[in-house]
Amino acid sequence: MRNKPSFSFFKNLLYALDGLRICFKEEISFKIELFVAIFLSIVIWLASLHPLSKIILQSSLLLPLIAELFNSAIEHLTDLCTKKYHPLAKSAKDMGAAAVLLTLLLTLGIWIAVGLYEYK
């Protein structure tokens, strides 16, 4: 059996908040995406939209933030493994960046679809 500490909701919550703090502190991309998400959240809730549209738009703003957290984790682990240039390290970082790009495009698509639905 593994030597695993017992589950603690509050410790796990603190670990998660620590991860958000580290990402906010160290990653410019995360800061930009977070500030854009906050601004767009205000716009969403001030707009006269159907409540379900508001929930969909609000939820879509979390996708790039989640992808950016995973991308940052991949970058940190890659940097831990090697400081030298390696094609596999570059590939891992590029794939993480591609995931962020795809979630940004997905979010844009969701906003366009909701916009078309709301203003038909």
Q: Which of 26, 27, 33, 68 is catalytic?
A: 68
* Annotated catalytic residue 68: yes
The whole-number pLDDT of residue 2 equals 65
Determine the pLDDT at residue 118: 92
Which pLDDT score is estimated for 6? 75
What pLDDT tens digit does each residue of the chain (120 aa) get? 466 767 788 889 999 999 999 999 999 999 999 999 999 999 999 999 999 999 999 999 999 999 999 999 999 999 999 888 999 999 999 999 999 999 999 999 999 999 999 987
Separation of alpha carbons 56 and 73, rounded Å: 27
Give the whole-angstrom CA distance, residue 106 versus residue 97: 14
**pLDDT of the residue at 3:** 67
Q: What is the pLDDT of residue 91?
A: 95
CA–CA distance from 19 to each of 48, 58, 83 (Å)?
35, 22, 22
**Domains of the chain, first to last:** 10-118 (1.10.287.3610)
